[in-house]
């Protein structure tokens, strides 16, 4: 159910603003379980569905929204537990990839977005988006891919110890929830050019307490590494079917100085989608849209304008 009134969490966090380059009026979708999901719905035209990962939120996509909303309809959800959305306890929500995909499915259906959707993904947004695409591949007509994954950890890539610590050890969970180590670390290490302080504070604003950092740690704990992990079957199927998207116009924008999604992940996408246009930056990190938005946003806009639906 889409509502015009803001949720309590949206009101609380918007009072912390305004944040740089985020002049938007978030909307609210209330799921059947009563949880309020915040999302942006900016502009009119062909739909560009932008999915963030962990530990970011819709703020990550702000430059692209500003660069597209004059001619495109930009839909940008905050996943449950993230951004301006509600942040329920474990008793009230299952923090799993399946839940994320189901949330996206309900939101998309409520907005009547049609069958000509451009899917733009980053980080966990890749698995959420391509997980959703397992049932809706015919609706996805173009792809914009930035530092993400839609397949298992490449054999040549070891799991970074920071993620292993957060995934498998209570001390890692304590660091993420107690010290905000994951969100703060990403804001510092996820870029090559340091974020201005107001931008950094915007990235961190939703994750301002132990309770409000629940999703940042549950995302890490849900990383599928082997058969039997909760999301493994979804990851395997997404990997198997990724080459089916090779006929869609695809743009890849990638920062090589990413401590997780490095050149091995980039190769996974370019092998599966060999016709993709790509812009690879040696001097950009995980948050490639922070380091390179001035160059990357016009390139994405040009790609979309040239590949009309």
pLDDT tens, position by position, 149-176: 999 988 878 777 677 776 867 777 888 8
Kindly list the structural domains of the chain, giving each domain's residue range(s) and its CATH number in brackets, ordered by start. Answer: 2-306 (3.40.50.1820)
Question: Does the pLDDT at position 206 exceed 80?
Answer: yes
Q: What pLDDT was estimated at residue 161? A: 64
Q: What is the longest distance spanned by two Cα atoms in the chain?
A: 49
> Measured in whole angstroms, how far is the alpha carbon of residue 125 from the centre of its chain?
3
Residue 100 clears pLDDT 80, i.e. is over it:
yes
- pLDDT value of position 170: 77
| Total-model pTM | 0.96
Count of alpha carbons within 13 Å of 306, Cβ hemisphere only? Answer: 10
- Angle, helices 97-111/125-136, rounded to nearest 10 degrees: 60
**Residues 8-42: pLDDT tens digits?**
999 999 999 999 999 999 999 999 999 999 999 99
State the pLDDT confidence band at 148, using cuts at 50, 70 and 90: very high
- Rounded CA separation 203/181 (Å): 13
Q: Which tokens go with 195?
A: 């974020």
Could you count the other beta carbons within 10 Å of the beta carbon of residue 244?
A: 11
Q: Please tell me the predicted confidence (pLDDT) of residue 164.
A: 72
Overall average pLDDT of the 270-298 stretch:
98
Instruction: Give φ, ψ of 122 to 5 degrees.
Output: -150, 140
Residue 293, token pair as written in the block: 């938005």
For residues 133-147, average pLDDT: 97
Mean pLDDT of 204-208: 97
Long-range pairs, 237-242, Cβ under 8 A, ≥24 = 237/134, 238/127, 238/130, 238/131, 238/133, 238/134, 238/150, 238/151, 239/150, 239/151, 239/152, 241/133, 241/134, 241/137, 242/130, 242/150, 242/151, 242/269, 242/272, 242/273
Each residue's pLDDT tens digit, 47-90: 999 999 999 999 999 999 999 999 999 999 999 999 999 999 99
pLDDT of residue 176: 87
| pLDDT at res. 173 | 85
CA distance 100 to 238: 15
Contact status, residue 230 vs residue 97, Cβ threshold 8 Å: yes
Alpha carbons 85 and 206: distance in angstroms, whole number:
9
Other Cβ atoms within 10 Å of 249 Cβ, number: 18
pLDDT score of 75? 98
């Amino acid at each position: 159910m889409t509502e015009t009134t803001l949720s309590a969490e949206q009101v609380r966090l918007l009072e912390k603003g305004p944040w740089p380059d985020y002049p938007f009026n978030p909307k609210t979708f209330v799921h059947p379980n009563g949880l309020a999901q915040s999302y942006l719905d900016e502009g009119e035209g062909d739909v560009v569905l932008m999915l963030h990962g962990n530990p970011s939120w819709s703020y990550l996509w702000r430059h692209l929204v500003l660069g597209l909303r004059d001619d495109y309809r930009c839909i940008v959800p905050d996943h449950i537990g993230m951004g301006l959305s509600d942040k329920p306890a474990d008793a009230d929500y299952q923090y799993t990839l399946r839940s994320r995909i189901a949330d996206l499915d309900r939101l998309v259906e409520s907005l009547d977005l049609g069958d000509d959707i451009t899917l733009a993904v980053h980080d966990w947004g890749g698995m959420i988006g391509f997980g959703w695409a397992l049932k809706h591949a015919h609706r996805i007509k173009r792809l914009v891919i930035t530092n993400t994954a839609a397949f298992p950890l490449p054999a040549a890539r070891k799991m970074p110890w920071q993620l292993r610590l957060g995934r498998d050890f209570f001390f890692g969970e304590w660091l993420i929830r107690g010290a905000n180590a994951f969100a703060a670390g990403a804001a510092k290490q996820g870029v090559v050019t340091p974020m201005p302080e107001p931008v950094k504070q915007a990235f961190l604003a939703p994750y301002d307490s132990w309770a409000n950092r629940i999703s940042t740690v549950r995302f890490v704990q849900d990383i599928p590494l082997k058969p039997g992990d909760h999301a493994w079957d979804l990851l395997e199927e997404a990997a198997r079917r990724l080459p089916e998207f090779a006929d869609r116009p695809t743009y890849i924008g990638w920062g090589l100085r990413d401590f997780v999604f490095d050149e091995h992940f980039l190769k996974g996408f370019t092998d599966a989608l060999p016709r993709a246009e790509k812009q690879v930056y040696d001097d950009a990190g995980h948050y490639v849209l922070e380091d390179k938005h001035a160059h990357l946003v016009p390139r994405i806009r040009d790609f979309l304008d040239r590949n009309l639906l």
